[in-house]
A and B are shown apart, each in its own frame.
Chain A
Amino acid sequence: DAKTTQPPSMDCAEGRAANLPCNHSTISGNEYVYWYRQIHSQGPQYIIHGLKNNETNEMASLIITEDRKSSTLILPHATLRDTAVYYCIVRPNRIKAAGNKLTFGGGTRVLVKP
C-alpha cells in the first residue's frame, strides 16, 4: 500500500470547517484513498473513500487533487464529538482476501475546541 503523510495534530473551533490534509505522492492508479477516525476508547470508524473524484456523504467531504498525490478530508461543521484521531489510508481497488487488511499510520489528532 502507498505510504501516507499526515500532520500529527491540529485544532479546530467548534462549528467551523475542519480541513485535514494527507499526502500520498506514491499512490498508484488503482488505489483508493480511505479515511477512518478513532474516537478515544472506541473502535475505528469508517468515514469516506474515493478514487479520483471528490466524494461527499453525511459525515464529510473528500477532495482529491487532480494528480491524486494528496487529498483533504473536510468536516463541514466540526462538533466536540468530532475530536478523534483521523487516519488516511491508501489501498488497492481489488486485492486477494489475504491482503485485505488496513494499515493505520500515525494519523492526525484533531481537537475540536468550544
Chain B
Amino acid sequence: NAGVTQTPKFQVLKTGQSMTLQCAQDMNHNSMYWYRQDPGMGLRLIYYSASEGTTDKGEVPNGYNVSRLNKREFSLRLESAAPSQTSVYFCASSEARNRVVTSSNQPQHFGDGTRLSIL
C-alpha cells in the first residue's frame, strides 16, 4: 500500500523556469493538501482541495497554482520559479465526511516530499 506518492523526489530549477510537482494517493481520501517546509520552520499550507473538483488557497499561495485532476491526484505548479520557493514540498491527504465540514479527527497522511532548489 503506497499511501501518498510524490514525484519527483529532487529537482533543481533555474529562476523563471516552470515545474509541476505531482502527488497521488491510493487511500480513496477526499481531501488533499500541499505544504512547504523551510529550515527551522514548521509546515505552511500552500493550497488544499477539500474534495474532487474544489481547490482553495492556504497560508502561502502566491506563486503557485494547483489542479485536482481526479480524486487520486493533486498537482502543484510553479509557473515562474523564484529562489524564495526553494523548499521541501509535502503533499498530504485525509478523509472528509463532506465537502464543507471535515471531522478533524481524521489524520493527514503525508508523502516523503519533493526537495526543490531554485538557483
Contacts and interface: CB of A to CB of B under 8 A. Distances in A.
A binds B: yes
B12 interface: no
A105 B40 CA distance: 10
A91 B113 contact: no
A45 B110 contact: yes
B4 interface: yes
Interface residues of B, number: 31
Contact of A101 (B58, B100, B107, B110): B58
B104 A91 contact: yes
A43 B36 CA distance: 11
B42 interface: yes
Interface residues of A, number: 26
Contacts, number: 77
A97 B42 contact: no
A68 interface: no
A43 B90 contact: yes
A98 B51 CA distance: 11
B102 interface: yes
Contacts of A87: 42
B97 to A, nearest CB: 9
A95 B112 contact: no
B107 A46 contact: yes
Contacts of B48: 97, 100-101
Given A44-B92, A97-B96, A98-B56, 15 more contacts: A42-B113, A43-B4, A43-B92, A43-B111, A46-B109, A93-B103, A93-B104, A93-B105, A95-B101, A96-B102, A100-B48, A100-B102, A101-B58, A101-B59, A102-B92
